[in-house]
A and B are shown apart, each in its own frame.
Chain A
C-alpha cells in the first residue's frame, strides 16, 4: 500500500476528486430546488389589483366625539391552501367631521394596543409603549413612531376603512401588506 506507483497515485487522485465532485454536484443540484421549496410563497404578495377593499365600521353618526371606540372587522386572508377569515380591531376616534382610524397593532414589534381610560392613553403591554388619544407616541415609548392610521371614508353615512399592515420598528409608516 505504501509503494504506490505513479499511475496508481494519479488513479487514486482522480477517483478521490471524482467522488467529491459527484457528491458536491448532487448536493448542489438538490440545494437550489430545496431552498426555493422551503421559501415557498413567503415572498409573494397577494395580487389584489388596484381596487381598494373598503370595510364597514358601522354608522358614522354612532361614534362619540373624542372617545376611542374599538371596532372589530373581519378580513379575508389567504393562508397557504386555505382562504379564511381573520378578525382585527380598529380604534376609531371622532374629531368633529373628521375621524382618526388606527390599527391596534403597535408599530414597535406588533403587539396589540389597548385604550386605558384612566391614563387617557393607548398602551402596549409588551414593551410599555404609550400613545396619545391622537395616536402620537408619548415620551419614553419603545415605538419609533405613533400609531398607524388607516385610510377612511364616509359613504352612505357609513364609516369605512382600508385595512393594511405596516412594517415594524421604522420611524415612518411603510406598507408591509
Chain B
C-alpha cells in the first residue's frame, strides 16, 4: 500500500532514496511508525506520552553534556557544579534545563497517567502496557531521588540523609540497605559515586529499555480511542498518526520547551553552599513534588514512622501498579466508573491537602530560616567564582597563630574558611580596607572597620593582632 506518510521524490533524489530504501527498508519503518491508525481521530489529550519522550530526550542530552564538567566526588562535585553555573558558557542554562526538566518530567508523567485513567485506556488486554508504564513511573522518581544528591549542596546532602533514613526503616534489613546505598557508614564520595552511576548509567539504560517495551506494547494493543464512542464509531473516524497527531505532539512539546527555556534563562537553578554536615540550623526540604510524602511522615511518630514512610506509599503504589488487574470491568466511560474515578480524585485531593499542610507548617514555623536559606543560596550564586586552590603555594600556608585559634577560630573556622557565625577570611586580603594594619585595627575595634557584627577583642594583644593579620594575608 502506498503510504501517505512516505515522501515521494523524483529525479536524482528519488534514485538515492530508492537505493537507500531497498537496502535499509526506510519506507517500511516509516509506514510502521507513522501510519498507525488512531481511532476517533487525533487529539491534544494524547500528547502527554510524546511530551514525556521529548523531555526524556532533553534530559538525556543536557545530562550527557553536564557530565562533561561534573565530577562525582565529595571533594569536587560541588565545585564542578559551581563552575558549570558560573564559568562555563551557557552552563547555567544547561543546568537550568536539566533542573526544571526534572520537574516537567514528574508533572508530565502524572498528567499522562491521569489521562489514561480517565479514558480507561488501561483496559482490554493492556495490562502489560500499564505494568511497564508503572515501572517507568517509578524510574522517573528514582531519577529524581538520585539526581538530587549530585550537586552536593546543603539541600542535596540533607535531603538524601532523610531519604536514606527512610530506607533504613525497612524491618530487619534496614541498616544493611542503608549501608549498601551510601556505601558505608558516612555519606561521601562513595555515596556520590553510587548515585552518579545509578543516575547516569543504570536508570537511563533501564528507562530506554522500558520505553522501547512500552511503545512496542502500545502499538501492539493499539490506541484505545475515545471513551464515548463504540469501537465501530471510532474506526469510522480513524486518522493516521502522521501528520495530525505528530503535529499536535510537536506543538505541545514546543510549549513545554519554551517554558523550560524561559525558566532556565529567567531563574537560575538553585545551588546552595557546599554540604556541611556540622550545620545544625539547616531546614531540609525535599523537591516540591515530594513535599506531600514529607508531610505524611509527621503524622506517624516514633515506631509507627514506617506506616507513613513505606507502608502507605507502598500500598498506594501497589494499587496504581496493579490497577488493570483490580478494575476488570470493561466499561471505559469515566462517569460509569465511580469507584476508580472517586479513588483517583481522593488521592489527588489527599496529595494536594498534604502539600498545602506542609507549606502552611513551614510558613508558620520555619519561614525565617527557609527564607534565610533561600537568600544564602542566592547570595552564593552571585559570589564570583574562586577556583579550588591545590597549588603548592596554598599548601605552604603556615598554621594559624595561637591567638587566632583561641579567639577567632570559633566563628571564622580553624583555617579561616568561615563558619556559621563568621565570614571566611580566605582571600579577604584582596579586598579594599583590609591591609595588614587595617585587619589588626579591626580586631581591636571592629565597628570602626565596617564589621560591627564582630565583637571587639580587647584580650588580644597588639603583637598578637599583628601576627593574626600577617597570617590572614597568607590565606589565598
Contact = CB atoms under 8 A, between A and B. Distances in A.
Report the interface size class on chain A: 20 to 34
Interface in A82-104: 82-85
A82 B65 CA distance: 20
Contact of B90 (A4, A16, A37, A83): A37
Contacts of A82: 76, 79, 387-390
Interface stretch (A20-28, A105-113, A118-126): A20-28
Main secondary structure of the interface of A (DSSP, over half): helix
Nearest to A34: B65
A134 B88 CA distance: 43
Contact of B80 (A12, A29, A37, A81): A81
Given A19-B246, A34-B65, A74-B392, A40 B88 contact: yes
B143 interface: no
Contacts of B83: 80-81
Contacts of A4: 4
A81 B94 contact: no
Contacts of B261: 29
A36 B90 contact: yes
Most buried by A among B76, B79, B388: B388
A76 interface: yes
B272 interface: no
Given A1-B4, A12-B4, A81-B387, A33 B247 contact: no
B91 A81 contact: no
Interface string B240-283: 10111011011101100100010000000000000000000000
B10 to A, nearest CB: 17
A52 interface: no
B280 to A, nearest CB: 29
B80 A18 contact: no
A34 B261 CA distance: 13
Interface string B435-458: 000000000000000000000000
A42 to B, nearest CB: 10
B107 interface: no
Contact of B247 (A15, A25, A39, A40): A15
Interface residues of B, number: 41
Contacts of B390: 82-85
B69 interface: yes
Given A4-B4, A37-B88, A22 B254 contact: yes
A51 interface: no
A32 to B, nearest CB: 8
A81 B388 contact: yes
A19 B80 CA distance: 38
Contact of B79 (A16, A78, A81): A81
Given A16-B247, A81-B76, A33 B387 contact: no
A12 B387 CA distance: 55
Interface of B: 2, 4, 58, 61, 65, 68-69, 76, 79-80, 82-83, 87-91, 93-94, 240, 242-244, 246-247, 249-251, 253-254, 257, 261, 385, 387-394
28 contacts: A1-B240, A2-B2, A12-B4, A12-B243, A15-B243, A15-B244, A16-B246, A18-B250, A19-B243, A19-B247, A22-B250, A26-B257, A33-B90, A33-B93, A33-B94, A34-B61, A34-B65, A36-B89, A36-B90, A39-B89, A80-B80, A81-B83, A81-B87, A81-B385, A83-B387, A84-B390, A85-B390, A85-B392
